[in-house]
Amino acid sequence: MGAGKAGECRIENEALRTVVRRIFAAAGSSERECGLVAEHLVEANLRGHDSHGVGMLPAYIANALTGECRLNAAPTVVTDLGALMVVEADRGLGQTIAHDAVAMAVAKAKTQGACIMALRNSHHIGRIGHWSEQCVRAGLVSIHFVNVISTPAVAPFGGRGARVGTNPISIGLPRPGRDPFVVDFATSRLAVGKVRVAYNKGVDLPEGVLLDGAGEPTTDPAALFEEPLGALRTFGEHKGWALSFACDLLAGALAGGATQKGPKNRDAIINNMFSIVVSPEAMGTSAAYAREIEAYAEWVTAPPAGREPSVLLPGEPERATRADRLANKVPVDTNTWEQILAAGESVGVARAETGRIAGLA
């Protein structure tokens, strides 16, 4: 099963950022874009979401080389009614496009109190929590519904084959003076990238996550990468499916992009995102909001008398992993590392140089 059991290397986070910057610079990205993509991918690794970390670099570079992903692209505002914007990305690199689109939504929410922003046809925008965090840093609450146009990977609840994407949702809630709450997950049982990580590592997945090509339950991650292709299941039975459905309609249809219909017909991994960004300050509720969320967090996490605390809040697992990986370096499985070396080579960065930058040579 899988791609064969992989080993693991550990790379210091600054060195990993330099690897990403070097390879994107060689592919033609501006210095700014190199910084944005390195920040995005390595922060995903630091937070434990290896599915959306440097393991995405080979796909981005491959698509940049064929023109399926446009480097150094700027988003085009096609509708601007103040608090309502529609932004066209035309397959620009998502880490630049979404950054700039969310920055526009943040600026509008700061001056007008709220902004609804629909971003369409972006190349893959990575870890959606990254965009919630961008809003949170400006003191804003945000909600993001995203759909994915790629190889269908997820079976609708009750279905036996892949029809839709992993359609993630993120919600960011700033917490004055404290670390924010960040809700951020796929509506499938796992993100495709996490199945890829398991496939690259050569390990099985838990029961209940995957269907094989015949629509039967399997634990082998090869179901998503080897013919006949199978499917991920949605989380929470019918509820995850209903949310996934809403993502396709809000982010895909309402934004004027596309919903997932039919098999993959191009190499680009496309994301559409429907975002709502709100200022508690403009609502006049920021003091009450700050008081209430602290009281609520204390109430929901308080253990029964004599027991140890056991409840985590959204965003906490990622912060714990980040602290650990800053101290103990970022683990990268050797299959993924091999794919990164090959991606570097495809744009003229020798394997030896990439290894040296990573501190592995």
Interface residues with ligand NAD (CB under 6 A) are: 49, 51-52, 124-129, 146, 148, 166, 168, 170, 182-186, 190-191, 194, 271, 312-315, 317-318
Which residue from 190, 145, 130, 182 is spatially nearest to 166, judged by alpha carbons?
190
Residue number with CB closer to ligand NAD (23 or 273): 273
Q: How many residues does the chain have?
A: 361
CA atoms within 13 A on the CB side of 296: 9
Residue number with CB closer to ligand NAD (247 or 358): 247
Burial of 247 (0-12, 13-18, 19+ CB in 10 A): buried
CB of 181: closest distance to ligand NAD in angstroms?
A: 8
CB of 193: closest distance to ligand NAD in angstroms?
A: 6
Burial of 303 (0-12, 13-18, 19+ CB in 10 A): exposed
Look up residue 71 and give its two tokens. 């480097």
Are 349 and 26 contacting, i.e. CB atoms less than 8 angstroms apart?
Answer: yes
CB of 72: closest distance to ligand NAD in angstroms?
A: 20
Residue number with CB closer to ligand NAD (18 or 188): 188
Which residue from 125, 132, 145 is spatially nearest to 246, judged by alpha carbons?
145
CB of 345: closest distance to ligand NAD in angstroms?
A: 26
Residue number with CB closer to ligand NAD (261 or 356): 261
Mapping DSSP to helix (H, G, I), strand (E, B) and coil, where does residue 54 land? Answer: helix
CB of 180: closest distance to ligand NAD in angstroms?
A: 11
Residue number with CB closer to ligand NAD (53 or 344): 53
